[in-house]
Structure 1
Amino acid sequence: MAKWTPFPHSGDYTFDTTSLKKNWARLHQGDCEPLPKDAAVLQAWVLFHNGEFQKAAEAGIKAGGDGITVANKATSLYATYLETKEKTKLDLFMEVAARAEAQQAVDPKNANAWYWQAYALGRYSQGISVAKALAQGLGSKVKTALEKAIQLSPKHADAHIALAAFHAEVIDKVGALIGGMTYGAKKDTGLSLYKDALKLNPGSAIGMIEYANGLVMLEGDKKMKEATKLYEQAASSKAMDAAERLDVEMAKAELED
């Protein structure tokens, strides 16, 4: 594994197993991941929340079982926010999708096995262009996996966000008519999924960012003011760990542009 770009705020988060257990419910409000029973998996999550993404991914893969989830989350967030080479980024997303699919086969009731497959394929699709990805049949794969994740874990806020983004992206790229008829994408469904996500996890910076993006895609420039307000809220959120910090920093960067 090539050396990953380090988390730029190294040392700002210093969880250990005790403090992680204490804050687990709050940190995992978005993905509903259960607290691991396996000590090696818990240790991989400690590395993740402290921003040691490469070590977390390696430890998760080594631990196996539920450790695959932490490996997939660490890899996905690293690829989304910190990897600068486009090809490496796309390769990492495809690695996550493959690992998640293998995890589904072993543990089909694991909501995050479905969620991380969809997340990785969704980000990959954005990387190669949504239109191209739809032509390759990735759209229905993403939608099916996210619907499965929500069915298995109805309070999974992050899956609600990702499914909302699916509806918004498809309509934005191919229009409401083709989006609805060919891919089952609907504006009302997208908007209501964003709202549900923020009800389930009100403090989610990424939820606010994605909702802002979705509003503009689905409703146009008339929602720009509301979208900017959501970005401002996200930028002023207090990040509790390295992952949340990446979301908050992204919101700040977008506001500066």
Structure 2
Amino acid sequence: MTTWTAFPYPERHVFDAAGVRAQWAVLHRGDQEPLPTDPRVLEAWVLYHRGEFQAAAQAGDAFGAAGAVVANKARLIYADYLEPGEKARLDLFMDVAKRCEALTEQAPDCANAHYLHGYALGRYSQGVSVAKALAKGIGAKVKTAFETTLALQPEHADAYIALAAFHAEVIDKVGALIGQLTYGAKRETALNLFAEGMTRIPQAAIALTEYGKALLMLDGDIRIAEAQRLYEEAASIAPLDAMEHLGVDRVVAELSA
């Protein structure tokens, strides 16, 4: 098995099981993942929050459906932020999409199985071209995945943000009229969804960044100042774990470009 690129700040997020358990509600305010009852699955989450994504994926895989969410989230965050190869990144996104699709059949009430399915397909679409992905019908699957997540877990802030970003990106790529007629994508819906998500996770760097990008996609240059403000706010946030650290690093790099 290929060794994954290591998280560059292992000393910054030193968690143990007690620490993750104590901070669980804060660490998972975005995805509303239930605290695991199996201590071995909790240990896989400890690895994830530390940034040991490959070890977390392997540990999660060892426990079947019970460890599938942590295993797949570890793969997605690694692919999104640390995998240097474009083909390897796309392969990981599609691999997770297939794994999550299977998990939704096995555990249809698992909100994060649907969420991660949509996340994986969305990132894959961005990698191969959103317009091409929409033409292949992937867009409808992404939208359904996030809508299903929210139907199962109405407090899933990450799904609000992701679904809002989907609406914005569709409008940006195919236009407001075709976006609405073909995919039900609407500017007002995107903004309302962002409002719902940001109310729940107002200090999440990744959410702030997605909101800023969406404002530019929806309204163009007239929102540059607001988008810049959101990016700067995201860059100033002290990350709680490895995933948040990678999100802050990305926005800092974009501001510096």
Following superposition of structure 1 onto structure 2, how do residues 75-154 of structure 1 map, counting pairs within 5 Å? 75-154=75-154
Partner of 2:220: 220
What TM-score, normalized by structure 2, do the two folds share? 0.99
Partner of 1:198: 198
What TM-score, normalized by structure 1, do the two folds share? 0.99
Partner of 1:40: 40
Give, as a single letter, the amino acid of the residue that structure 1 aligns with 2:86.
Answer: E
- Structure 1 unaligned residues grouped into runs of 5+: none
C-alpha distance in 2 between matches for 1:232 and 1:54: 31
Give, as a single letter, the amino acid of the residue that structure 2 aligns with 1:5.
Answer: T
Question: Percentage identity across aligned positions?
Answer: 56
C-alpha distance in 2 between matches for 1:206 and 1:12: 19
Following superposition of structure 1 onto structure 2, how do residues 10-89 of structure 1 map, counting pairs within 5 Å? 10-89=10-89
- Secondary structure of the equivalent of 2:65? coil
Matched residue count: 257
- Structure 2 unaligned residues grouped into runs of 5+: none
C-alpha distance in 1 between matches for 2:225 and 2:153: 33
- Secondary structure of the equivalent of 1:84? coil
CA offsets 1:98-136 (integer angstroms, 9 cap, x no match): 111111111101100000000000000000000000011
C-alpha distance in 1 between matches for 2:247 and 2:66: 24
Aligned alpha-carbon RMSD (Å): 0.7
Partner of 2:8: 8
- Secondary structure of the equivalent of 2:151? helix
Question: After the TM superposition, which segments of 4 or more aligned residues of structure 1 sit over 6 Å from their partners?
Answer: none
Give, as a single letter, the amino acid of the residue that structure 2 aligns with 1:76.
Answer: L
- Secondary structure of the equivalent of 2:62? helix
C-alpha distance in 1 between matches for 2:139 and 2:212: 22
Shift of residue 139, structure 1, vs aligned partner = 0.3
- Secondary structure of the equivalent of 1:63? coil
- Secondary structure of the equivalent of 1:237? coil
C-alpha distance in 1 between matches for 2:98 and 2:68: 11
- Secondary structure of the equivalent of 1:213? helix
Shift of residue 191, structure 1, vs aligned partner = 1.1
Shift of residue 231, structure 1, vs aligned partner = 0.5
Shift of residue 66, structure 1, vs aligned partner = 2.5
- Secondary structure of the equivalent of 1:193? helix
